[in-house]
Amino acid sequence: MAKAVYYASIGPELALFDMDVEAATLTRRSAVTLPANVQYVWPHPSRRQLYAVSSNGGPGVAGDKHYANALAIDPGSGALRAHGAAAALPSRPIHCSVDRSGEYLFTAYNDPSNVTVHRLNADGTIGEPVAQPQKLDAGIYAHQVLAAPGNRVVLLVARGNDARPGKPEDPGAIKTFGFADGLLRNLASIAPGNGLGFGPRHLDFHPEQPWVFVSVERQNQIYVYRLDEQTGLSREPMFVKRTLSSSPRPEGAAGKAGMHQGAGPIHVHPNGRFVYQTNRASSTVDFQGQKVFAGGDNSVAVFAIDQQTGEPTLVQTIDGRGIQLRTFGIDPSGRLLVVASIMPLPVRDGNSIATLSAGLMLFRIGNDGRLTFARKYDVDTGDRQQFWSGMVTLA
């Protein structure tokens, strides 16, 4: 099996780690620095380039520097180097991906919600943006853009926003587009209940069946849809399940004392028998004059997938040992899962205060899909965040 490596970012730095699956260890090897803080990264299908989008913006901060960069991957080591000129982007990018042919780079933007398409040159460098012939329905707060298997449909996951004092809820949706020759055309808006009470974040595809598993952030749920030739996805979900093992909390993302609980990224196991999704929390309360973790679930949820129907059944939630589990990856052999928490946070320890560090947490994956904690590498993020991480198989 080809070698797989792990990459993780802190601010503008993107670091390479060698990975020993048997020993469940990571070894840092090298790093490159992007023009601004890394937001998301995606490999080319050839696995000879990575595409990284970066920005000096963030939640509540528009920023004024936004880029897409191509990085060449050394096929032996996974080391990265700049590959061609950076492409300037119109606003803070939140996600990027490459179409199935390897000819186009998609970028999603959350505020204002938008999607762009850039041509990729034959050598993997980033070419010109593709002018779209019609106004695209990008929904509210786009968070992910992916081409579906077959490459004829592109899915834009738009999270929406919870209601706040004086401001009603913004509905969520999965916007689907027909796709050909770099051009997108509005296809459908998949939005149960007109998108109210539906806040999707990310989705992933089953490797063999026409099933799409959606992480619904604002409701802590997993939805399962069927791919559909006409609308991209079936209008209604096949299944809806909760991601938390505890009893349901109050409706909406803000629960007791303003605590915020949300679902995170989602990945289907390479064998298609399991799907993994994180639960995230980072709200704070005052304690002894400091802001400390208010409590909540930072865990990895494990679902077994019925291979006849696609129904996911929650079989485990395991403590993620970090705050805000924003990204994770599964090695190609399906034996190791690595999850990254974005920041440290003070936590109560009886009547004293300790700090739960940011980190990279490694879990072994059993034959039954369940996770066993192997180790945590503490990560010093300084005044930045460990915003993206992921596995890449080398060419």
From residue 339, alpha-carbon distances to 256, 328, 390 in Å are 27, 4, 8
CA pair distance 37, 25, nearest whole angstrom:
26
Segments forming the whole domain that contains residue 152: 34-198
DSSP summary character for residue 46: T
Q: Measured at the alpha carbon of residue 175, what is the angle toward residues 104 and 98, in degrees to the nearest 5?
A: 20
Q: Do 55 and 2 reside in the same domain of the chain?
A: no
286 and 156 in a common domain? no
Residue 224 lies in a domain: no
Q: Is the pTM of the predicted complex or chain greater than 0.85?
A: yes
Q: pLDDT by residue for the chain (395 residues), tens digit each?
A: 789 999 999 999 999 999 999 999 999 999 999 999 999 999 999 999 999 999 999 888 899 999 999 999 999 999 999 999 999 999 999 999 999 999 999 999 999 999 999 999 999 999 999 999 889 999 999 999 999 999 999 999 999 999 999 999 999 999 999 999 999 999 999 999 899 999 999 999 999 999 999 999 999 999 999 999 899 999 999 999 999 986 444 333 444 545 789 999 999 999 999 999 999 999 999 999 999 999 999 999 999 999 999 999 999 999 999 999 999 999 999 999 999 999 999 999 999 999 999 999 999 999 999 999 999 999 999 999 999 999 999 99
Same domain flag for 142 and 273? no
CA distances 226 to 97, 191, 211, 220, 230, Å, are 21, 14, 5, 20, 12
The answer to whether residues 29 and 71 belong to one domain is: no
Starting at the edge strand found earlier in the chain, the sheet holding 126-129 runs 93-98, 104-110, 113-120, 126-129
Helices (H) and strands (E) in the chain, counts: 0, 34
Please state, in angstroms and rounded to a whole number, the distance separating the CA atoms of residues 146 and 212: 12
For 258, phi then psi, to 5°, come to 75, 10
Residues 151 and 296 in one domain: no
Of 258, 257, 290, 295, whose CA–CA distance to 279 is shortest? 295
Task: Give, in order, the Cα–Cα distances in Å from 140 to each of 36, 95, 158, 230.
Answer: 24, 14, 6, 23
